[in-house]
Amino acid sequence: LAYDVPSALEVLPGQLKASLRFSPAATIDLRDAAHPLVQRLDEYNAVATMSEKDIRRYWSVAPAPEAHVIASYDVESRPPALLERPVGRGRVLLFTTAVNSSAWND
C-alpha cells in the first residue's frame, strides 16, 4: 500500500492494518468529542447526521504514538473512527471510513 511507506507513516495519524466489516452496522460516536472540527460540524447539524449513519466498512488502524483519537465507533471494542496527528504547524486528520460514499459502506 502507498499508505504503508515511511514517508506516509511520518504524517498519518495511524498505520492502516486491514479493511474490515461491521455486522451489524456501527455508528460513529461523536457525542463527547470536544475537538474544534466536531464543534464546527455541530454548527451545521452534521454531527447528528454523521452519528446516525450506518457504517458497514472501515479500516482498522494502529494509532501513531503522537496521534489522538477524536471519535470511535459505537461498538464494544471502540475502534478509532477519526484520528488526528500534529505535523509541523498543522495537523493531519484520518477518517477510517468513507465520508462521501454510502456505496462503500454498503
What's the grid cell of residue 6? 515511511
What's the grid cell of residue 102? 454510502
How far is it, in rounded angstroms, from Cα 60 to Cα 52?
21
User: Is 75 a residue whose pLDDT tops 60?
Assistant: yes
pTM of the predicted model as reported, rounded to 2 decimal places: 0.85
Label residue 66 by pLDDT band (50, 70, 90): very high
Compute the mean pLDDT over every residue in the chain, rounded to the nearest whole number: 87
